[in-house]
Chains A and B, each alone.
Chain A
Amino acid sequence: MHELSIAISLIESAEEEAAKHHAAAVRAVHLRLGPLAGVEKQALLFSYDLAAAGTALEGSQLIIEDVPVTVFCAVCGERRPVRSLQSFCCAECDTPATQVVQGRELEVIALEIE
């Protein structure tokens, strides 16, 4: 399990961003998470509180937005979802997908600050 390492990096990132905005306190961190980031959501939520303890983010909430995997399907000529991670093909026409457009995200997108 590497979610605690990820949570510590997340807290450090959020602390830096909060400082840039001269935040007195951080209430929540909004994160976009794609399935290809290799991070388990429940484990990250669990690790977040541990990593936040004793930092400026202690007591803040982690809000995770799931990002679906999207590929560019050359046959459809469109961005499409995939069937699943196990069946990595266009959900519309079943063409095997090689061009990932999104789904690797592990990024802080917003902070709720005071």
Chain B
Amino acid sequence: MTEPRLVEVRRNVLKQNDVIARELRQRFRAAGVYTVSLVSSPGSGKTAFLEKTLSLVGSTHRVAALVGDLATENDAARLRRSHAPVQQITTGTVCHLDASMVRGALDAWNLADLDFLFIENVGNLVCPSSYDLGEELRLVLLSVTEGEDKPLKYPTIFHSADVAVITKIDLAAAVEFDWQAALANIQSVRPEMPVLQVSAKTGQGLEEWQRFLEARAGKTPEGRTQPVG
């Protein structure tokens, strides 16, 4: 028997996921597709927000969506009402999407035919934070009905996201949503995080979201890609 020895290695545990995510990001960029992922707890309005986004952004750009759930095709069916191409990823018992699931779901599409790809993650504020999906922009959604302290309870997912979207703002008064506390909590967890406020029901805030998205993506409303500095 040989002597026990300590060998140094340096290896990211999620290397395999990260390698696939990097490949995806390169493919998206090469094809000129701007990819946005959405994370939130179950029931915070991801699908309603995405349905409106697909209709709105889809009126001037070529859009598609991947949607992750443990079971059912319900969300994909809802999103198809927007007439955008939609693929459902059912994860079984897995509580998050990973990069290989995204890659597998893309086979049916020619990425060069798209301007925007949206990826709706499984409703979960914990697990998705660990997995890079190759997206350019990660949105974390927080509905006014969930309470102002969600960012403090789940700081890691807020930290992994680029933008916070406060949803269901038409209900804010009814639930006595404390805007000041909510915005302070987001900034406390993730300083300088941009925050958008929307209601998928009334449409409030959606145009601002569209302008924000087009500016981030460097895509004009006509669908042409502007040179980015």
Q: Are A97 and B191 in contact (CB under 8 A)?
A: yes
Cα distance A114–B129 in the bound complex, in angstroms: 36
In the complex, what's the smallest C-beta–C-beta distance from A91 to chain B, in angstroms? 14
A38 surroundings in chain B (CB, below 8 A): 126-127, 129-130, 156-157, 160
- Interface assignment of A42: CB less than 8 Å from any CB of chain B: no
User: Contact partner of B10 among A21, A107, A114, CB < 8 A?
Assistant: A107
Cα distance A81–B80 in the bound complex, in angstroms: 47
Is B197 at the interface (CB under 8 A from chain A)?
no
Cβ contact within 8 Å between B188 and A88:
yes
Q: In the bound complex, do residue B10 and residue A109 qualify as a contact, i.e. CB atoms below 8 Å apart?
A: yes
Instruction: Give chain B's interface residue range (CB within 8 Å of chain A).
Output: 35 or more
Check if B188 sits within 8 Å of A86, measured CB to CB: yes
With A17-B11, A38-B157, A98-B192 as known contacts, state yes or no: A6 contacts B130, CB within 8 Å: yes
Is residue B25 within 8 Å, beta carbon to beta carbon, of the partner chain? no
**In residues 62-114 of chain A, which contact B (Cβ within 8 Å)?**
85-89, 96-98, 106-114
Contact A2 B126 (CB under 8 A): yes
Q: How far is the CA of A21 from the CA of B17 in the complex (A)?
A: 23
Q: Which chain A positions have C-beta within 8 A of B17? A: 9
Chain A residues near B2 (CB-CB < 8 A): 24, 114
- The answer to whether B11 and A39 touch across the interface, beta carbons within 8 angstroms, is no
| Chain B 89-131 interface 0/1 with A at a Cβ cutoff of 8 Å (1 = within) | 0000011101000000000000000000000000000110110
In the bound complex, do residue B192 and residue A96 qualify as a contact, i.e. CB atoms below 8 Å apart? Answer: yes
Chain B positions 1-58 with a Cβ under 8 Å from a chain A Cβ: 1-17
* Chain A residues whose C-beta falls within 8 Å of the C-beta of B159 in the assembled complex: 36, 85, 88
* Chain B residue with the shortest CB-CB distance to A32: B10
Asked whether, in the complex, the Cβ of B189 is within 8 Å of the Cβ of A9, the reply is: no
Please measure, in the bound complex, the distance between the C-alpha atom of A25 and the C-alpha atom of B155, giving whole angstroms. Answer: 39
Complex CA distance for A86 and B188, rounded to whole angstroms = 6
| B187 at interface, CB cutoff 8 A | yes
Q: How far is the CB of B63 from chain A (nearest CB, A)?
A: 29
23 contacts between A and B (CB under 8 A): A2-B126, A2-B127, A5-B94, A5-B98, A6-B13, A9-B16, A9-B17, A21-B7, A31-B13, A36-B160, A38-B156, A85-B159, A86-B152, A96-B187, A108-B11, A108-B13, A109-B8, A110-B8, A110-B9, A111-B9, A113-B5, A114-B1, A114-B5
